[in-house]
Amino acid sequence: MKYWFVCSIAIVYNSFSFGQSALLDSSELFKHPLLTYEDALKAKNRDTVYRIDFNQPHERRTDIPIALFSFRNLQELDLSECGIRLLPPELALLKNLQYLNLSRNRFSSIPSIIGEMKNLISLDLSYAQFKAVPPEIGELKQLKELNLSEGYFSSLPPEIGNLVNLEELSLGYCKNLKTLPKEIGNLVALKKLYITFSGLEQLPEEIGQLKNLERLDIYDNKLENIPVGIGGLTSLKILNLMENPLGSLPTEIGNLQNLEELHLGGSGRLLLPDAIWKLKNLKELFIQTSGLKVIPNDIGQLTNLELLGLWGNQFKVFPTAVLQLTNLKSLVLGKNLLTNISDSIYVLENLELLNLKENKITSLPPSIGRLKNLKQLLLKSNQLTALPDEIVNLQELTELDVDSNQFVFISEDLFKLRKLDCLRCSKNPLESENLKSLRSLFGFRFCGQSRF
C-alpha cells in the first residue's frame, strides 16, 4: 500500500475528482456501516462509503494514505490514536466531512486549513498535543460539538465566538488555560460547557449571555470568585463548581430558577448566600468540605430536593433542618463530627441511602427501623458497638456497611433482611464464633471489607 507525505494539493487534485454531493442528516448517515479502512478499499463503488474508522488497535499508523482522499462522499472519519504527528493540509479536501475524530494523536499544531472544512458538525481534537487553537476554527459555522480537552494551549482565539451553532464545548484537563475570551458569550446555542480539571482562574462577565446553557461544569479549577453575570444563565440545570478556592458566591445565583443540580465545596471555607435556599427546583445539592457547622431552616424551601450531600464538613450535631426535606432519597453526612443522629430521622420516609461514614456515632435510634424504603445504610468508621433490634424492619435494605466500628457481636437476626446483598463488618473485634456464623449464614453476601 502506498503512503505519502507530499504537501502539494495539486497532486491530489490530479489524481481524484472531488464533487460536492448532498450531505446526509445524522439519522440517515448512521444507517450506513462504519467501515475499517481496509474494508472501505474493497468497496465496489467508493462513492457509497460514508463512514470510515481508520484506527484499528492492531495496526498503528502514523501517516495518512493518499487513497483515503478517493472517498469523496466521506462524512465521518475516525483518525483517533493513529500517532499522527502532522496534519496534512490535504485533509481539508474531504469537503463533505461532518464528523471528524482526531483525538489522542501527537500533532503539535492544527493547520489553518481546518477552517475550510465548513460542513463539520463534530470535531474531536482531545488528548492531542497542540499548543494553540488557530483563529480559523471560527470558520466552522455548522459545528455543534467541539472537544479540545487536554490541549496544551493557554488561550482560545476570539474567533471562537463565531461558532453560533455550537451546542457542546469541552475544555477539560487544559492545565494552561487561565481564562476564556469575552467572545465566549456569543455562543448563543451552547447547551453544555465542560472545563473540568483545568487551570481556569476567572470567568468573563459575558458568560451570563449564554441563555441556552443547561450544564456548566467547572470542577477542579482555580476560581476564587464567580462573576455576577452568572445570574443570566436562566436555562441552567446543572452547575458544578466543586474543588475551586471559592470564598463566596454572588447572590445572583438565586436567579437560576431552573437549576436542578448544584455542586459546591472543596475549599473548606465557603460562605453560602441565602439565595441558594430559593432555588426551588433543586433536586440534588452537594456542599462538601466547606466548613459548614449548621444548616439554616431555610433549606426547607427546597421541597423538591432528592439528594443532599454534606460530606466532609464540621457538623457536631445532626442538622435537624434537613428533616423538613421529606422527598429526600439520599442523605450523605459522612466525614463530619456527629456523635448521634436525630430520633426523628424516620420522617424521611422516602430515604433510600443514608451515608454516615467517618463520624463518631456511638448509637443509632430505634426509629431508624421505620425507614421502610432504605436500601443502603453506610456506617463505616464510627464508634458503634450495637445495632438497634429494629434494624430488621428495613426489609428493602440491600447493603449494610459497619466496617471499622467496635462490634464484638452482630446479631444473626440480620439474616431476616432477605434483600441484603452485602454485609460489611471487617475491622471489628468480633468474636470468632460470631464471625464464622455470619459467614455461614450470608455466604457470598458476606462482602468483607468495605470498598471505600
CATH number at residue 435: 3.80.10.10
- CA separation for the pair 361, 382 (Å, rounded): 5
Q: Which of 47-61, 220-234, 267-281 has the lowest mean pLDDT?
A: 47-61
448 occurs within a structural domain? yes
Task: Work out the average pLDDT over 15-30.
Answer: 71
Asked whether the predicted pLDDT for residue 131 surpasses 60, the reply is yes
Burial 121-141 (b: 16+ CB within 10 A, else e): bbbbbbbbebeebbebbbbbe
230 occurs within a structural domain? no
Query: What's the burial of 451, exposed, middle or buried (CB within 10 Å: 0-12/13-18/19+)?
Result: exposed
Task: Work out the average pLDDT over 144-151.
Answer: 97
What pLDDT, on the 0 to 100 scale, is given for residue 3? 33
325 occurs within a structural domain? yes
Query: Can you spell out the DSSP letters for 67-125?
Result: GGGG-TT--EEE-TTS------GGGGG-TT--EEE--S---S---GGGGG-TT-SEEE-
What pLDDT, on the 0 to 100 scale, is given for residue 446? 72
Q: 452 is in which domain, residue-wise?
A: 310-452
Asked whether the predicted pLDDT for residue 251 surpasses 60, the reply is yes
266 occurs within a structural domain? no
What pLDDT, on the 0 to 100 scale, is given for residue 89? 82
pLDDT band at 20 (very low <50, low <70, confident <90, very high): low
What pLDDT, on the 0 to 100 scale, is given for residue 87? 85
Neighbouring-strand partners of residue 52: 35, 77
Task: Work out the average pLDDT over 62-84.
Answer: 89
Instruction: Give tens-digit pLDDT for 359-410.
Output: 999 999 999 999 999 999 999 999 999 999 999 999 999 999 999 999 999 9
Tell me how many domains the chain contains: 1
Asked whether the predicted pLDDT for residue 57 surpasses 70, the reply is no
370 occurs within a structural domain? yes
- By the 8 A CB rule, do 115 and 137 touch? yes
Task: Work out the average pLDDT over 330-347.
Answer: 98
Q: What is the pTM of this model?
A: 0.91
- Give the Cβ contact number of residue 203 at 10 Å: 21
232 occurs within a structural domain? no
110 occurs within a structural domain? no
Task: Work out the average pLDDT over 103-125.
Answer: 93
Query: What Cα–Cα distance (Å) separates residue 223 from each residue in 178, 231, 410?
Result: 9, 17, 48
Task: Work out the average pLDDT over 43-53.
Answer: 94
Determine what percent of the chain is predicted with pLDDT higher than 90: 81
What pLDDT, on the 0 to 100 scale, is given for residue 450? 45
Give 208's contacts (C-beta < 8 A, 6+ positions apart).
185, 227, 228, 229, 230, 231, 232, 233
- By the 8 A CB rule, do 299 and 276 touch? no
Interior angle at CA 273, CA 272 and CA 276, nearest 5: 90
What pLDDT, on the 0 to 100 scale, is given for residue 4? 34
363 occurs within a structural domain? yes
Q: Kindly report the average pLDDT of the chain as a whole number.
A: 91
Query: What's the burial of 347, exposed, middle or buried (CB within 10 Å: 0-12/13-18/19+)?
Result: middle
pLDDT band at 444 (very low <50, low <70, confident <90, very high): low
Q: Which residue has the higher pLDDT, 13 or 42?
A: 42
pLDDT band at 86 (very low <50, low <70, confident <90, very high): confident
Asked whether the predicted pLDDT for residue 22 surpasses 90, the reply is no
Task: Work out the average pLDDT over 417-441.
Answer: 91
Q: Which of 353-357, 435-439, 440-444 has the lowest mean pLDDT?
A: 440-444
- CA separation for the pair 7, 82 (Å, rounded): 20
Instruction: Give tens-digit pLDDT for 166-209.
Output: 999 999 999 999 999 999 999 999 999 999 999 999 999 999 99
Burial 206-240 (b: 16+ CB within 10 A, else e): bbbbbeebbbbbbbbbebeebbebbbbbeebbbbb
